[in-house]
Structure 1
Amino acid sequence: MGVNIKRKSTLPRRSMADQHDCHGISRPPVDSGATAGQSWFPGPPPPMYSCTLTPELEAKAREELQEKPEWRLRDVQALRDMILKEQPNLRTRLDDTFLLRFLRARKFDYDRALQLLLNYHAGRKAWPEVFQDLRPSTVKHVLDLGFLTVLPRPDPSGRYILCLRPGKWKPNDYPFVDNVRAIYLTLEKLIQPEETQVNGIVILADYTGVGMSQASNPGPFLAKKVVSILQDGFPIRIKAVNIINEPRIFKGLFAIIKPFLKEKMAERYVLHGSDLRSLHRNIPALVLPEEYGGTAGRLDMNAWSRLLLDCEEEFIVEFCQPDPLEGVVLPDSMLFEGEQASGKDDDTFRGLRSQLYYCY
């Protein structure tokens, strides 16, 4: 096993007020009234960092993420120093709570955490139609359609389950990017609690009703962007992707997605078909709704929608800000290649589209 050599902090620690004033980014306010109505999901963290992990989760973070409680804030300060020194023009939050997400997602490797942070902001610049004016009220139609929700009970490993139902969307309803907007807002909310940062999440994708119109609509260019953001541009650990009720054309769909997946992520995809017993071996029935053979009551698509919509002001502060990359010089190896890659990807799609029709 390789050993990560961490850089030591060389710059003086700055107060939170100084850091935020310098970069023009303030922390989203905590709406105690909204939080009180969301007791099934942990509320936002406090403005000043205070560890909320249980002793068991601290032990898990130490073992899986190389996180040492006694070094935690020192590591955050080291990452903060790197940002201020190497990317002084980057308009980003620098508070402990925010930076910890990136350290945990990259197992406290400073260089990889900084790269993830840059990717996180670069994704917004590369895909303005997703990130411009990104707030829950702009995707209410997606939420009302029942395209996604988060199940109210985490699995026995403490992982919340993001339930996607792509068959609910039809290309004539609204642009595909609106689905991506709703997914991204959901991930932003999911990653707030420290337990999610340590435990990760599980995705359950129900492909009931997915046909050729949905399967062929995004294309590989959009698929590549979505995968890139989830895999390399967002500080969350996706521990498993469970696919159920997949149609015959899913083989062609996966052929579009798989080239963009890292091997480790590709191995986390599990296809169950209509076999609920197979699903229950991965997600216990006690946390699943009745629709998926579970014992946790009927699937409620409204609770998560209400939760997101109650956080409108929080997302306005987070996303309706000036371009965080204005004046920033990014490395040549940045993740997102921009629109010039679309031609090549369209050629790839023409080759893969025949697979969709063959499977269909």
Structure 2
Amino acid sequence: MALQHESIDLGSPPTEPSPSAAHSWFPAPPPPIYTCTLTPELVAKAREELQEKPEWRLRDVQALRDMIIKEQPNLRTRLDDAFLLRFLRARKFDYDRALELLLNYQAGRKAWPEVFHDLKPSTVKHVLDLGFLSVLPNPDPNGRYILCLQPGKWKPNDYPFVDNVRALYLTLEKLIQPEDTQVNGIVILADYTGVGMSQASNPGPFLAKKVVSILQDGFPIRIKAVNIINEPMIFKGIFAIIKPFLKEKMAERYVLHGSDLRSLHRNIPPSVLPQQYGGIAAHLDMAAWSRVLLDCEEEFIVEFCQPDPLEGVVLPDDAFLDGDSAGGQDEDTFRALRSQLYYCY
């Protein structure tokens, strides 16, 4: 029943980006062994805004890892450096709050199986083809990618609303991979053109609360602004459903522009906006983000569509020992080994 530990390939990454993904306009997935990719400017920004000290970064990751192993021994989660850094950065290197966020992240995956079961891009291709969401190819001057939502394109008779949530979650998972995003955060642009009573009455308060809980309490991403444009009169009713679940800080980041593009441009410059929003960038290509996600199908299968990665696997007894006990290997080399093992945890 038990497998030999040699079956774990420690010399190769858990996933390999497809050739098409490697040539995408969006950054490729990070390697399994953490290497900082932040520019000196972003290192300084992370230090100032997130209390991230480069010289203590991996020490802080190890401290969070130790907390998880000690306080949550039954939690099945990745423990590699790059993954845990997302949660530390999202909570400004507060260990307790980072652990709470991680627990919420994992609890959400278990509590909402209709969202997370068999979660991969091909299962939401109809959402992507419809244009319900996309990501603009150029970040804003603050380095933040812009997630563009067009809820008016969805009709309740097309497919269940939960499919939109699935596509949104996959998008967030992809957006949070680059370290730039972990430091800079993202901006949401929601165009409510075409939204009527049928969309407003669906999903309802219960589903709305679950979506909001993912965005502000259950996912390691910093949402810096939510720009609403072309909102109909009925949007007041929609926002009345959402607002009770928003924290004050998040509610203050909602900006309603109506049809005033000049107001929008004060928040998102025309240089990165497509033509339909008064910008000078190319017309919004709804298929571009779809290609990014679909090119990463195998990556998401590994992340969301596999059984427990350690089921039946016996790891070597010394796999998680300190570098001094690792048969003479130097600390950096052993950290690389542990990072790959923790990825499989």
**What band does the TM-score fall into relative to the shorter chain?**
0.7 to 0.9
What amino acid is the match of 1:92? T
SS at match of 1:286: helix
Aligned counterparts, 1:87-236, within 5 A: 87-236=72-221
Structure number with greater CO (CA < 8 Å, separation at least 6) is: 2
- Please give the TM-score of this superposition, normalised by the length of structure 1: 0.82
Q: Say if 1:27 and 1:242 are closer, same or farther in 2 by CA, change over 3 A.
A: farther
Q: Say if 1:27 and 1:85 are closer, same or farther in 2 by CA, change over 3 A.
A: farther
Task: State the distance in 2 between where 1:34 and 1:189 align.
Answer: 15
SS at match of 1:270: strand
Match of 2:295 in 1: 310
C-alpha contact (below 8 Å) 2:270/2:278 kept by paired residues: yes
Task: List gaps (5 residues or longer) in structure 1.
Answer: 1-17, 327-360
After TM superposition, the runs of 4+ consecutive aligned structure 1 residues lying more than 4 A away are none
Give the deviation of 1:185 after TM superposition: 0.1
Kindly indicate whether residue 16 of structure 2 is the aligned counterpart of residue 30 of structure 1: yes
What percentage of residue pairs aligned between the two structures are identical? 87
Task: State the distance in 2 between where 1:127 and 1:252 align.
Answer: 26
Q: How big is each residue's C-alpha offset from its partner over 1:304-344, in whole Å with a ceiling of 9 and x where there is no partner? A: 100100100100110113379x9xxxxxxxxxxxxxxxxxx
C-alpha contact (below 8 Å) 1:197/1:237 kept by paired residues: yes
C-alpha contact (below 8 Å) 1:27/1:93 kept by paired residues: no
Give the deviation of 1:47 after TM superposition: 1.5
SS at match of 2:128: helix
What amino acid is the match of 2:282? G
Match of 2:243 in 1: 258
Kindly indicate whether residue 53 of structure 2 is the aligned counterpart of residue 86 of structure 1: no
SS at match of 1:174: coil
Q: How big is each residue's C-alpha offset from its partner over 1:150-170, in whole Å with a ceiling of 9 and x where there is no partner? A: 000000000000000000000
- Please give the TM-score of this superposition, normalised by the length of structure 2: 0.85
Match of 1:349 in 2: none
C-alpha contact (below 8 Å) 2:122/2:294 kept by paired residues: yes
Give the deviation of 1:88 after TM superposition: 1.2
Task: List gaps (5 residues or longer) in structure 2.
Answer: 312-345
Match of 1:72 in 2: 57
Q: How big is each residue's C-alpha offset from its partner over 1:14-59, in whole Å with a ceiling of 9 and x where there is no partner? A: xxxx9xx7xxxx9741315133321x21111112100000000000
What amino acid is the match of 1:71? W
What amino acid is the match of 2:16? V
SS at match of 1:223: helix
SS at match of 2:167: helix
